[in-house]
Chain A
Amino acid sequence: MPDLLLPVVLFRSQDAERSPEFYEGELQRKGGLRVPPNTVFFQLGRMAHMSVSCVGCGMCTDVCPADIPLSTLFSKVAASAQALFEYRPGRDVTEEIPLRTFEEQELAQVAT
């Protein structure tokens, strides 16, 4: 029996938090820095982790302090990711999420 709870991958602090050396390096390289840093990185990382499991609940839009309609964007990415693996979150609790499983013959066009 597989886990009923989806193994949702959350960001560990070491991925999201940066050392003083990082800020120093970014300042030297770019001459400026956005605070907080890595916002786009975070969103793309979140998409890589969560888009196959997205049911479009809209909570990300609700909590966005800048009122960005994240859910619209997220649903679009989720739809294409779920179509890629022919997966629908919530369809079947015994189904593994796509990134935990694979098929021997698939996605041949990905590798060139």
Chain B
Amino acid sequence: MKSQAFTPRIVGFLCNWCTYAAADSAGVSRFKMPPSVMVVRVMCSGRVDPLFVLTAFFSGADGVLISGCWPGQCHYQKGNLHARRRTALLKSIFDTLELEMADRFRLSWVSASEAPRFAQVVKEFTDQIEQAGPSPICDELFL
């Protein structure tokens, strides 16, 4: 039994042009959200390789959030559409193998002007991970 309350560690891959700006704006506007997301700023959600997500999980992340511009609003025209395909593939792999990671992985579109939405996504996702508990992967010796 853990005496302390569980605080999820979520790795957030945020797109520089949309979600990172939204996160910044959410901070400046002092929206309340749990301090659970560790932000990795990427230039585009399309930069996020499935291996980044796996590395995050195997290094002890309880959840992984990929967030970028809405489809059609990508700074590089099509990066987020590639990200969507990769996420779909990775999700289908997790689902087929019935891995725990399936419920700990989320892709969200948050544009630069949607600071309240960013706060809400972080809150929802953190609640979801809190329900699921700590990731069993990080302490597993034989992975």
B107 at the interface (CB under 8 A from A): yes
- The residues in B between 94 and 132 inclusive whose CB is less than 8 angstroms from any CB of A are 95-97, 106-109
B108 partner residues in chain A, CB cutoff 8 A: 111-112
A99 partner residues in chain B, CB cutoff 8 A: 82, 85-86, 89
Q: What separation, in Å, do the CA atoms of A67 and B106 have in the docked complex?
A: 35
Q: What separation, in Å, do the CA atoms of A57 and B91 have in the docked complex?
A: 24
Q: Which of A40, A45, A110 is within 8 Å of B51, CB to CB?
A: A45
Contact assessment for A44 and B89 in the assembled complex, using a CB-CB cutoff below 8 Å = no
A72 at the interface (CB under 8 A from B): no
A73 partner residues in chain B, CB cutoff 8 A: 97
Q: What separation, in Å, do the CA atoms of A85 and B89 have in the docked complex?
A: 9
- The residues in B between 32 and 80 inclusive whose CB is less than 8 angstroms from any CB of A are 50-51, 54-55, 58, 60, 71-72, 78
- The residues in A between 52 and 92 inclusive whose CB is less than 8 angstroms from any CB of B are 52, 73, 76-77, 80-81, 84-85
Number of residues on chain B facing chain A (CB within 8 A) = 32
For this complex, 16 residue pairs linking A to B, each with C-beta atoms less than 8 Å apart, are A30-B141, A31-B141, A40-B58, A41-B54, A41-B143, A47-B93, A48-B50, A48-B86, A52-B89, A76-B96, A102-B85, A104-B81, A107-B88, A111-B84, A111-B87, A111-B109
Contact assessment for B141 and A32 in the assembled complex, using a CB-CB cutoff below 8 Å = yes
B96 partner residues in chain A, CB cutoff 8 A: 76-77, 80-81
Contact assessment for A110 and B95 in the assembled complex, using a CB-CB cutoff below 8 Å = no
A45-B51, A85-B89 known, 18 other contacts, Cβ within 8 Å:
A29-B60, A31-B141, A33-B141, A34-B141, A34-B142, A34-B143, A48-B90, A48-B93, A49-B50, A81-B96, A84-B89, A84-B92, A99-B86, A102-B78, A102-B82, A102-B85, A104-B71, A112-B107
